[in-house]
Amino acid sequence: MIKFLIKHFPLFIILMNIKYVFSAFLPYYIGISITYLSYIAIATTCLLYYIKNHKVINTENKLLSYVYKVLIIYIIIGYIKNLFIPSGLFPFFKLQICCALLSFGSIFIFRYESTMIKKVLKTWWKYVPIIFVLTFWRIEISFYISILFLCTLLLILLPFQKKKNRPIIITLWIFLIYCGLRQRLDYVELSIALLLYLVVKFGQKWSTRRYKILFHTIMLTPLFFLSTYYITGFNILDFKSYYTDEAISKTAGDMTEDTRSFLYEEAVLSSVKHNYFAFGRTPFYGYDSIWALKRDKQTGSEQGIIIGNSLQRVSEVFIVNIYTWCGILGCLLFHLLYYTIGFKTIKNSQNYLLKVFALYIGLFWLVSWIAHQMFNPSMDYICLYIIVAMCINPFYQNMDNQQIIKTLKSYQP
């Protein structure tokens, strides 16, 4: 069974990637069924692959293996807990979250299956661009960036792309800029891709020390602003407190509106009230949200289950969700994980591209304080897992600049 799943793993990822196409062209129950089946297939493949290869993984990647074990344990505990204590999340929400956490194991598949990254990239090239071109007119605009998220990674690697593929990447990226940006975070994602493209383009002669300084700065930025808030009360997310000019976008609305602070406040208050701030509530629960309760009463919608006088929800922000599910322990584990992988990559890599990938990991962690919800398996995390797998793989670490350029070109159609 595991051989069958591994063989079709790239297809599962593509099906998950184009899930919004299903909802636009198929009856709802068929589209949603395909989506959930792709989630389950990815999660099952990752879990079974880890179980089968856990000895090697434990020996060579102890921290990654430990984090994955913690996630599995939390899912098991959450399932048992949910049998006795009601949750405010719908069953399919809980399924999505569990699949998202289990898909963390994709890192091991990309690390140990030598041709998997190549297969995923070639499968994406084969299906996604043409499917998107043929169907985008029926898809909600806000979903464009989710379907084409791999373009952000391909843009970073633009200098390493074959000449025939560069116009396609640039065209799709420009299309996203003009037609696909509906949130401020979309601007952030595309800006990061452009920034790292420039680093790839001009950073070949940078010293390892410069990469280390940049990486440490990126990784410590969230902790700096968190400490600043508790010490001085300055909230970096409250733009209007220090930026008085108007910044209105036709597509993203008010660029200075603070839509994140209240998420932190509700999550922390909920954790203190129910005493789960240290170890979390497990992935089968959300945090109590007064905002969500008011929203549902105003709109007449039912997007959650009311427990007592509270309605539980998951957030658009990874760090808020992981705090709710795994507490401070989970936040520290992921910080340590990304920090360790990024620092070791910069220190040990024989080519500058992996050093740039370390910056990608750092920036992903930074953006995780305002986005990357990890609510279901998604392409932003698949891109991260591909990069992490390359960073921890001696095969890529030991390549010089010319060798890794040649290798990446071989991964393209």
Phi-psi map region of 34: left, alpha, beta (phi>0 left; psi -120 to 50 alpha): alpha
CA–CA dist 96, 100 (Å, integer): 6
Residue with tokens 């750092």: 362
Tell me what the mean pLDDT of segment 325-341 comes to.
97
pLDDT in tens, 136-161: 999 998 899 999 999 999 999 999 99
Average of pLDDT values for 80-86? 94
How far is the CA of 96 from the CAs of 89, 311, 402, in angstroms?
Answer: 11, 19, 41
Quick one: which H or E segment has residue 190? helix 184-202
DSSP state of 250: T
Q: Give the domain range for residue 198.
A: 2-204+376-410
**Cα–Cα dist 211/360, whole Å:** 11
Burial letters for 183-194: b for 16+ Cβ neighbours within 10 Å, e otherwise?
bbbbeebbebbe
Residues whose CB falls within 8 Å of the CB of residue 33, separated by 6 or more in sequence, listed in order: none
- Per-residue pLDDT averaged across 76-105, rounded? 95
Q: Is residue 214 part of a domain?
A: no
**Residue 183's pLDDT band (cuts 50, 70, 90):** confident
pLDDT band at 237; cut points 50, 70, 90:
confident
Is residue 42 within 8 Å of residue 106, measured between CB atoms?
A: yes
pLDDT at 179: 85
Q: Is residue 406 part of a domain?
A: yes
The CA distance from 404 to 353, in Å, is: 8
How far apart, in whole angstroms, are the C-alpha atoms of residue 291 and residue 238?
18
Q: Quick one: the chain helix, strand, coil %, rounded to 5?
A: 70, 5, 25
- Does residue 307 lie in a domain region? no
The answer to whether residue 244 sits within a structural domain is no
Q: What is the band of 230 on the pLDDT scale with cuts at 50, 70, 90?
A: confident
DSSP E strand stretches across 173-297: 248-249, 253-254, 287-288
Contact 88, 278 (CB under 8 A): no
Residue 197 forms part of a structural domain: yes
Residue 171: predicted pLDDT:
94
Per-residue pLDDT reduced to its tens digit, 247-303? 555 555 555 666 788 899 999 999 999 999 999 999 999 999 888 777 776 666 666
Q: What is the pLDDT of residue 177?
A: 87
Q: Is 290 exposed, middle or buried (0-12, 13-18, 19+ CB in 10 A)?
A: middle
Cα–Cα distance measured from residue 345 to residue 389, given in angstroms and rounded to the nearest whole number: 11
pLDDT tier, 311 (very low <50, low <70, confident <90, very high otherwise): confident
336, 324 Cβ separation under 8 angstroms: no
Domain count, the chain: 1
**Does residue 199 carry a pLDDT above 90?**
yes
**297 assigned to some structural domain:** no
For the chain, state the CA radius of gyration.
21
* SS3 assignment, position 307: strand
Q: Is 399 helix (H, G, I), strand (E, B) or coil?
A: coil
Domain annotation covers residue 127: yes
Is residue 165 one of the residues assigned to a domain?
yes
Supply the mean pLDDT for the chain. Answer: 91
What's the order of all strands across the beta sheet hosting 310-313? Answer: 287-288, 310-313, 306-307
